[in-house]
Each structure stands twice: as C-alpha cells, then as structure tokens.
Amino acid sequence: MAVFNLDEKFKLWRNIKYYYPYSELTRQPKWRVAILTCMDCRIISNVFGIEDPGEAIVIRTTGALLTLDSLRSLLIAVYELNVNLIAVIGHTDCGGEMSENQMRKLISKISKRAGISPEEVLRLLGSSDPPSAFLGFNNVEVQVQKTVKDIREHPLITPVGVEVVGFIYETLKGDLINLQKKREQRER
C-alpha cells in the first residue's frame, strides 16, 4: 500500500506543468548528453545540473550498470538522438554494492516472499547464480570505471566516437566527483 495518493501527486504535476513550455521540447537532448545512473531515489536530475526538461537523457539502472536494457537505451540515444557524450554516474551507499553472500540472501528473501524456490527465482531472472542475477559489486568506483570502459570499448559505440566519462555522486555530501580528475590527482 502506497504511503501517499499517487493520483493526487499527478494532479499536482498537471498544475505545475503549465509553467513550462513543453511544446517547445524535442526528442533530442539540448546538451547531447546521456547520463547512465542508478535508480536510487536520492539521485534527482538537478544533482547533474539539469534544471529543465529536455536538457539530457537520464537512464536509470541499479548501480549505473551497463545491462542489455541500458545498452539499448544508449544506442538509441547515440544513433537516433545525436548524443555525443555519455556520463556514467554511480554513487556512494549504493544498494547494488553487495557481496555474493548478500545477493544469496536477497534471492532467499525473494523466494520466501514470492512463495517459490530460489532456483525458480534465478530461472525467472534468466540466471544460474545470484551474482549474475543481480550483477552486484564491491566497490562503486571500480564498477563505474568498468562500466565506462565497457561502453567505450563496445563495438557498437566505439566506431561513432562518443565520449564516455565517469563520476561518483557522494550521497552524504552532495558532491559529484569526476573520476578522470581524481585519477590524475592521484598520479601527481
């Protein structure tokens, strides 16, 4: 049961939307940027400097991971919507940052609540084991760097020369850390 009335929230939105010229928006983002970030509710688009609709494409997936679904979205952004910069933005205190044991516990929790076996949960997720089912990771910085590398080297993205950068959003401080700059500072 929801803790608020969704219909009431949407009514509020319908009143607010008249203050913005939505008819002037196009499918293509003004900044020609796609942001691959996490689904975490603490991450709102103004964290990235987005102030108005239509400035950037925001793709959300647990842990800002490159999955088949997020890859499909990025390909449409690049090939159809003229995006030339992809920013991968992970964050501290991420729910996707979990050990193999934590992923096994999650499978067990889902199994109990859904009333099916852990094996059936894995089958329904198209996986044979918890790590491949949830793609958990141990270190958000390493994960973002891996996602940046995977996108840069993907054979469907590499040929078009799209720039790919990585950031970490520090949820407790509100800071956005550029991983390239952080690495350059460490190397000095």
d(CA 145, CA 94): 15
**What percentage of the chain carries pLDDT values higher than 90?**
70
pLDDT at 84 over 90: yes
| Alpha-carbon dihedral angle through residues 109, 111, 114, 119, given to the nearest 10 degrees | 160
- Assigned CATH class of 24-97+137-188: alpha beta
Where does the pLDDT of residue 18 fall: very low under 50, low under 70, confident under 90, or very high at 90 and above? Answer: low
> Looking at residue 4, what is its pLDDT?
65
- What's the Cα-to-Cα distance from 154 to each of 20, 45, 71, 77, 110, rounded to whole Å? 37, 26, 9, 15, 33
Where does the pLDDT of residue 186 fall: very low under 50, low under 70, confident under 90, or very high at 90 and above? Answer: confident
pLDDT at 65 over 80: yes
Region 89-102: mean pLDDT is: 94
CB of 171 within 8 A of CB of 92?
yes
Q: What is the pTM of this model?
A: 0.88
Residues of each domain in the chain carrying CATH 3.40.1050.10: 24-97+137-188
d(CA 62, CA 95): 8
pLDDT at 2 over 60: no
pLDDT at 13 over 70: no
d(CA 26, CA 42): 27
